[in-house]
């Protein structure tokens, strides 16, 4: 799959059914040797705290991606246990 095919897809969490973001609003961590995607980094949803202080990001490991569909990417993560930076 090409990177251009991922852009614009919404990321949906099967854990709670929530929309976490869109691939176009995210960053990808790519292994420079293999070219494999290691993780997707999403900006955390805006809040007053995040606007005034450090912005956090949600890191979704590629292993948590369950399905890449025509319109959405389905992931299985418990946000309270995922890495926040």
Question: Which domains are delineated in the chain?
Answer: 3-84 (2.30.30.240)
User: Are 13 and 76 contacting, i.e. CB atoms less than 8 angstroms apart?
Assistant: yes
* pLDDT bucket at 5, cuts 50 / 70 / 90: confident
User: Are 20 and 60 contacting, i.e. CB atoms less than 8 angstroms apart?
Assistant: yes
Task: Tell me the pLDDT tens digit for each residue of 14-72.
Answer: 988 999 888 887 888 999 999 888 998 988 655 555 555 556 788 999 999 999 999 99
Can you tell me the distance from the alpha carbon of 42 to that of 56, in angstroms, rounded to the nearest whole number?
Answer: 9
pTM of the full structure: 0.73
Q: Rounded to a whole number, what is the distance in angstroms from the first to the last CA of the chain?
A: 28
Other CB atoms within 10 A of residue 44 CB: 16
Task: Say what the pLDDT of residue 85 is.
Answer: 43
């Amino acid at each position: 799959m090409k990177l251009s095919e991922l852009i614009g897809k919404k990321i949906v969490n099967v854990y709670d059914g929530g929309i976490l973001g869109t691939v176009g609003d995210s960053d990808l961590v790519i292994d420079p040797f293999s070219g494999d995607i290691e993780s997707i980094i999403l900006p955390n949803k805006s809040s007053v705290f995040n606007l005034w202080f450090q912005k956090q990001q949600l890191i979704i490991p590629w292993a948590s991606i369950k399905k890449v569909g025509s319109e959405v990417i389905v992931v299985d993560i418990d946000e309270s246990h995922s890495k926040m930076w």
